[in-house]
Amino acid sequence: MSDIANNPNANSAAYQRILLKLSGEALMGDDAFGINRATIERIVQEIAQVARMGVQIAVVIGGGNIFRGVAGGAAGMDRATADYMGMLATVMNSLALADAMEKAGLTARVMSAIGIEQVVEPYVRPKALQYLEEGKVVVFAAGTGNPFFTTDTAAALRGAEIGAQIVLKATKVDGVYTADPKKDANATRYSQLSFDEAIAKSLGIMDATAFALCRDQKLPIKVFSIFKSGALERVVAGQDEGTLVYAN
Ligand SMILES: Nc1ncnc2c1ncn2[C@@H]1O[C@H](COP(=O)(O)OP(=O)(O)OP(=O)(O)O)[C@@H](O)[C@H]1O
Ligand SMILES: O=c1ccn([C@@H]2O[C@H](COP(=O)(O)O)[C@@H](O)[C@H]2O)c(=O)[nH]1
């Protein structure tokens, strides 16, 4: 982490290495599905600001914006086959994100959990660590590479593998609530809660597999809204934003 130590802005960051989980659906902006150009460019600007703080950034992106758009066609399909479609959707999002980051002056590398070498390089952990040390933003595509999982679990897995200090879940809501705030107007937001509590109460913001993996690895998660301007920077600066989920 010598580059970070030499970075004059590094002190403003509370973390040296983060795993950012971006909701695929957040990329839609106001569109019905797909990738909204203005939205992805705004998110990339927020990532660039954090990179300027000297933070090493790895990203896992979901596939909901593409996959749910074709969900009708996937209905009745073999589950594993549909899941591979979902993983390929995350590859498309990863390519779009990396392209937008390159255009914004960042250097990005996409690494896929499933073999598609003509499109992106495969995930190789030491190589990913090398890229991070070099200040490149690494985008982990295709989730875990296995059906029956989610990109939240991929974020927990890759976060633990690369030694991230925190998983930042950038999503459509501004934290973890007592119930889904989109369905329950009386739901209230936690400023922090433990993994045990989140799992015991079956809080649907993330799947239980992701929570359990982070709990076991003592890898905290911060949930915050990607739609709030400057929220990512405030989270990385250690300011009060979103909900912290911690291990006891
Ligand atoms: N207890 C809760 N607190 C906050 N949000 C909750 C809760 N339960 C369910 N949710 C819902 O969880 C959703 C999480 O959204 P998110 O977009 O991150 O899902 P995802 O499936 O991980 O991503 P993608 O869009 O890529 O599929 C929110 O939209 C929110 O409405
Ligand atoms: O490890 C994984 C990750 C994802 N999938 C499939 O992709 C879609 C999209 O991911 P989201 O996390 O929902 O955005 C998911 O619904 C799965 O079908 C997977 O199989 N394995």
- Reported as a single tens digit per residue, the pLDDT across 181-239 is 999 999 999 999 999 999 999 999 999 999 999 999 999 999 999 999 999 999 999 99
- The model's pLDDT over 94-142, given as tens digits with 9 standing for 90+, comes to 999 999 999 999 999 999 999 999 999 999 999 999 999 999 999 999 9
Stretch 148-159: mean pLDDT? 97
Residues 218 and 247: beta-carbon distance below 8 Å: yes
1 CA → ligand 2 middle, Å:
32
Q: How many Å apart are CA 67 and CA 92, to the nearest integer?
A: 10
Kindly provide the ipTM of the predicted complex, given to two decimals.
0.96
Rounded to two decimals, the pTM is 0.94
Centroid of ligand 1 to alpha carbon of 245 (angstroms): 15
Q: What angle do CA 82, 86, 89 make, to 5 degrees?
A: 140
Task: Tell me the per-residue pLDDT of 1-44, one tens digit each, with 9 for 90 and over.
Answer: 444 444 555 459 999 999 999 999 989 988 888 999 999 999 99
CA distance linking residue 195 with residue 199, whole number of Å: 6
In the prediction, which pLDDT does 29 show?
A: 87
Measured by CA distance, the residue closest to atom 11 of ligand 1 is 205
Say yes or no: CB of residue 149 within 6 Å of ligand 2.
yes
Helix (H) / strand (E) element for 192: namely strand 192-194
Query: 245 has which bridge partners?
Result: 193, 221
- Distance from Cα 205 to the centre of ligand 1, integer Å: 4
CA 60 to ligand 1 centroid distance, Å: 15
CA 192 to chain centre: 19
Q: Maximum CA pair distance of the chain?
A: 55
* 122 CA distance to ligand 2 middle (Å): 18
Q: Are strands 56-61 and 192-194 parallel, antiparallel or unpaired?
A: unpaired
Interval 82-94 mean pLDDT:
96
Pairwise CA distance, residues 65 & 74, whole Å: 14
- As a whole number of angstroms, the distance between CA 209 and CA 207 comes to 6
Q: Report the pLDDT value the prediction gives residue 69, as an integer from 0 to 100.
A: 67
Average pLDDT value for the chain: 93
> Residue 73: what are its φ and ψ, rounded to 5°?
-70, -25
Which ligand is closest to the CA of 154, given by its number?
2
Structural domains in the chain, CATH included, are 17-246 (3.40.1160.10)
Q: For residue 72, is pLDDT > 80? A: no
Q: How far is CA 34 from CA 141, 172, 180, in A?
A: 17, 16, 24
Q: What is the pLDDT of residue 3?
A: 45
- Side chain identity at residue 108, one-letter code: A
pLDDT at 2: 40
Nearest CA to ligand 2 atom 8: 86
In short, whether 189's Cβ falls inside 6 Å of ligand 1 is: no
DSSP element (H, E) containing 212: helix 208-216
Query: Mean pLDDT, to the nearest integer, of 58-71?
Result: 88
Across residues 51-63, what is the average pLDDT?
A: 97
Residue 151 Cβ inside 6 Å of ligand 2? The answer reads yes
pLDDT at residue 240, rounded to an integer: 95
pLDDT of residue 111: 98
- CA distances to 15, 52, 177, 190, 204 from 244, in Å: 14, 24, 12, 8, 15
Q: Calculate the CA 29 to chain-centre distance.
A: 17
pLDDT at residue 1 in the model: 43
